[in-house]
Amino acid sequence: MIPLTIAQIARATAGDPLLSGDDTLDTVVSGTVDTDSRLIRPGDVFVAKPGETTDGHRFVATAAEAGAALALVERPVDAPLTQIVVADAVTALADLARAVVADVRERGDLRIVGITGSNGKTTTKNLLARILEGEGETVSPRASFNNEVGAPLTMLRVGADTRYLVSEFGASAPGEIARLAGLVHPDVGIVLMVGMAHAGGFGGIEATFHAKSELVRAVRAGGLAVLNADDARVAAMAPIAAEGEVNVRWFGRGADADVRAEAVEVTASGTHCTVVADGVSAPLHLRVLGEHHVMNALAAIAAATALGVSLTDAVARVETLELAERWRMQPLGSERVRIINDAYNASPDSMAAALRTLAQITRPGERTVAVLGAMSELGEYAEDEHDRIGLLAVRLGIQRIVIVGPEARRMYLEAIAQGSWDGEAVFFATADEAYDYLLGELRDGDRVLVKSSNSVGLRFLGDRLGESFS
């Protein structure tokens, strides 16, 4: 965090300072802000956030022992450090982030990019950050820090010399993106796609459209919306951009996109294509597995070139990224048995894309194996969407379909109904049972996809398989 006095922090958070030791209202604090007491270092700021399973106030003393300079609390705690008592810790965190970013923006040359979409946010964030890091100091989220806590924590990492802030905005209900993006009003807003992820929480696909369009509405006047020309719902956000005096830059596979991909070829080592941006072309070897990640790369390149990065530099930096993030199309195992661990998140769109990738990268003589768990947060759409994935797995010719967990059983039943009843499709109630089966079933030449929502935990099954066949 930029240096601020205790008085300035109190004003930004509408809090009441309770001084400790030699501190005064003019004492300057400049450490990292965090809600996890285990990560606190000397000089840091601890935010005592109440949680579903525990309460951050229990760890204020722990933060003090670690050397915290200050704590944001909702009630005073008996601990030897200065505290600022606020009405709501999460709201105070957001207010502090808003104030810090505004201060840096006013005094420097900070450019802010916001990213949202039903799928691909984290991959696009990492690709864009890799590009922009070559231009100047860049702050981007760790992992998927994209919610009401993670996004402000990322914003608070900006400093006087930060040139780019890349923010990822996720949401599970309407209004969340508006609140987060409204803290900073990005110069550039990227909308990747509108799909079924979190459809249960939003109340359907149209409600998801309105939620994702909140980012376009939050872009500052004169800024830029980078929109997916191949997604009809994203394309329908162009009038919203026009209403806010925001320009539009299109990315996609079609000829009319400002930034597009041609001659796409998917291999086990990545995807090859030619990127065309504003009439200039460059070959790209995207090492992140999956044809669907070409769109994420195009979005990142579209934003970066709009910010003044040359296409040549943008493509060269994208090519250096081998892995989007742990548990996202992560290659494990060995050439003998290759494991693709993509079980950090799953929606109908990302599940379908991962299955298609598995089919595309498997060569003659190799066998496709899909280990699939439930897709969460689909609400009333869950049964139909799980049925569709079971159907797709059969139609793609996946040779072994391993379904794990009772919430995913519909995929197994659909695969059986479509003809995979002679051992091609199997069901296991637990990951341990599936692991035991796979240890005996997998053989040389197998290409194995492990895919589920984060809550199911199949990412750990993927790790175990990767270790066993390394």
- Known binding residue 122? Answer is yes
How far is it, in rounded angstroms, from Cα 185 to Cα 173?
A: 20
Average pLDDT, the chain: 94
The answer to whether 49 is a known ligand-binding residue is no
120 labeled binding residue: yes
Nearest to 271 by CA among 279, 282, 280, 263: 263
Contact criterion met (CB below 8 Å) for 277 and 131: no
Q: Is the pLDDT of residue 139 over 80?
A: yes
Q: What is the mean pLDDT of residues 310-315?
A: 98
Domain architecture of the chain: domains with CATH: 4-88 (3.40.1390.10), 108-318 (3.40.1190.10), 330-468 (3.90.190.20)
Residue 325 has a pLDDT of 80
pLDDT tens digits, 206-242? 888 999 999 999 999 999 999 999 999 999 999 999 9
pLDDT at position 201 is: 59
From the CB of residue 384, how many other CB atoms can be counted at a distance below 10 Å?
A: 12
Number of H helices, E strands in the chain: 17, 22
pLDDT at site 326: 85
User: Is 118 part of any known ligand binding site?
Assistant: yes
Comparing CA positions, the residue from 54, 37, 55 lying closest to residue 46 is: 37
Q: Is 375 left (phi over 0), alpha (psi -120 to 50) or beta?
A: beta
By C-alpha distance, which of 26, 16, 19 is closest to 70? 19
Confidence at residue 202, expressed as pLDDT on a 0 to 100 scale: 62
* Residues ≥6 apart with Cβ < 8 Å to 337: 442, 443, 444, 445, 446, 448, 469
Q: Which two tokens stand for residue 277?
A: 């941006």
In this prediction, residues 15-21 reach a mean pLDDT of 97
What pLDDT, in 10s, does the model give residues 69-79?
999 999 999 99
Closest CA to 31 of 77, 63, 79, 57: 63
Residue 292's nearest CA partner among 358, 387, 386 is 358
- Which token pair is 376? 């969460």
119 labelled as ligand-binding?
A: yes
Gap between the Cα atoms of 164 and 439, Å rounded = 46
Place of tokens 């493509």: 315
Burial 133-157 (b: 16+ CB within 10 A, else e): eebeebbbbeebbbbbbbbbbbbbb
Q: Provide, rounded to the nearest whole percent, the portion of the chain with pLDDT above 70.
A: 98
Between CA 468 and CA 470 the distance in angstroms is 6
How far does the chain reach from its first CA to its final CA, in angstroms? 42
Q: Which string of b and e fits 237-252 if b means at least 16 CB within 10 Å?
A: bbebbeebebebbbbb
pLDDT band at 328 (very low <50, low <70, confident <90, very high): confident
User: Averaged over 83-105, what is the pLDDT?
Assistant: 97
Candidates 346, 380, 375, 408; CA nearest to 204 is 380
Residue 123 annotated as binding site: yes
